[in-house]
Amino acid sequence: MKALQFKGYGKLRGNIFLGDVPKPQIREGQVLVQVHAASVNPVDYKIVNGNLKLLLRLKLPAVFGYDFAGVVTEAGNGVDHVKMGDTVYGSLPSISPGTFAEFAAVDADVVALKPKNLNFIEAACIPLVGLTTVQVFNKSNLKRGDKVLIHAGSGGIGTLAIQYAKAKGAFVYTTTSTQNTEWVKDLGADRVIDYKNEDYKKIAKDLDVVYDTLGGQYTLDAFDQVKPGGHVTSIAGGIDGETVKALGLPKIIQWILFFKGRKIRKRAEQKGAHYNYVLMDPNREQVEQLTALIQQGAIKPVLDKVYDLDDGVEALVHQQSGRAKGKIVIKMR
C-alpha cells in the first residue's frame, strides 16, 4: 500500500516521501480501516522537525499522521461495536501515528461511527482537534458562563474550540489577524481580538480558562490574564509533572522535561492558578460526544484545503506555514 513516511529529522522537504509499505495486519481487538481521508495537524510537522524525539521513539522510516476517516474492511476477535463496511472516524494514540496511508490498523475501542451528515473529508477534520479540545476543557473544569481565551481562533484547533466552548455556554475571547476577524466571529466567538491592531492582554482579563495553543511566552503571559484559581491548559507549553509521569519515560527524560517547565510552575504558584498540559488520548466516548454535537449542528468542520496523497509533502508545508484557515486534509482515494 502507499503511505506517506519520513526518513529523518529536520526539514519537511527532503525527509518526507511517498512509498510502499506492507498492509497492516490486525490483532485481536483491532479493525483494519481503509483510510479515505486524514487531516494534518501541527504535531505532524513537529514530529518530522524532531521536536518530539524525547516523547516518541519511532523507528525510521516511519508512517505518521493521526486522524482518519474511512471504512472498516476487517474486524478482529472481540470487536462488537463496529463491523465490516461501517464508515468510521477517529484518531490514533499520540505514541503510535500512522494514518497517512491507504490502510491503518486501529484499536477498535478508539473507533467511532462517522457522523451521518459529514463526508469522509469533513469527518477527518474533527478527531484530534476535537478530542484535544474536549480534554483541555475537561482539565479546565469548564462551566457555563466561564470566560475563556482561545488563541489562534482561525486555526484548526481554534475553529473547533470556539464552537465547542460556545456549545458549553462559555463567553469566548479569541485572537486572529485582521483579515479573519469577521470570519472567526461567525464561528460564535463573543469577542474577536485583532492581534495586529489590538493588545489581547488589555481586553481578555480576569479569565477562568486560557486555552494555550501557542506555547513559549504566551504560556507564561497566560497567568497574567487568568484569575486566581483559574486554569491555564496548554497543548504547546511545558509538560506538567503529572503528564511526564503518565508517559512512563526514562527518568533522565522525565527530569529534563520537568526542568524545562520550572518557569511555568513558578508563575502558576505566584498566581494561585492551575496549570495542565494535555497530550491527546484517544477516547471513543468523547468522539461520540462530538458526533452528537455535529449532528445537532452545534459544531461544523472548517476545511481549508484538500491535497491528494501524492502531494502530502505540500500539505505538511502548508500546515507549517501557519496560514491555514481551519483544517488541511489529505485525500487517499
> How high is the pLDDT of residue 117?
97
Tell which wins on pLDDT, 140 or 50.
Answer: 140
> How high is the pLDDT of residue 58?
86
Q: Residue 247 above 70 pLDDT?
A: no
> How high is the pLDDT of residue 49?
93
Q: Rounded CA gap, 301 and 291, in Å?
A: 11
Domains of the chain, first to last? 2-126+301-331 (3.90.180.10), 129-277 (3.40.50.720)
pLDDT bin (cut points 50, 70, 90) of residue 165 is very high
Angle value at C-alpha 94, between 326 and 176, nearest 5 degrees: 25
Q: Residue 20 above 90 pLDDT?
A: yes
Mean pLDDT of 290-294: 98
Percentage above 90 pLDDT, the chain: 80
For 249, other C-beta atoms within 10 Å of its C-beta total 17
CB environment 165-174: b (16+ within 10 A), e (fewer): bbebebbbbb
Q: Residue 106 above 70 pLDDT?
A: yes
Output DSSP code: residue 310: G
Please give the helix or strand (H or E) that residue 212 lies within, else none. Answer: strand 207-212
Candidate from 68-77, 81-90, 142-151, 275-284 with smallest mean pLDDT:
275-284
Mean pLDDT of 220-233: 96
Q: Residue 248: which of 105, 46, 57, 28 has the closest Cα?
A: 57
Mean pLDDT of 198-221: 95
> How high is the pLDDT of residue 150?
97
pLDDT bin (cut points 50, 70, 90) of residue 262 is confident
98 within 8 A of 282, measured Cβ to Cβ: no
Tell which wins on pLDDT, 239 or 169.
Answer: 169
The pLDDT mean for the chain works out to: 92
> How high is the pLDDT of residue 188?
94
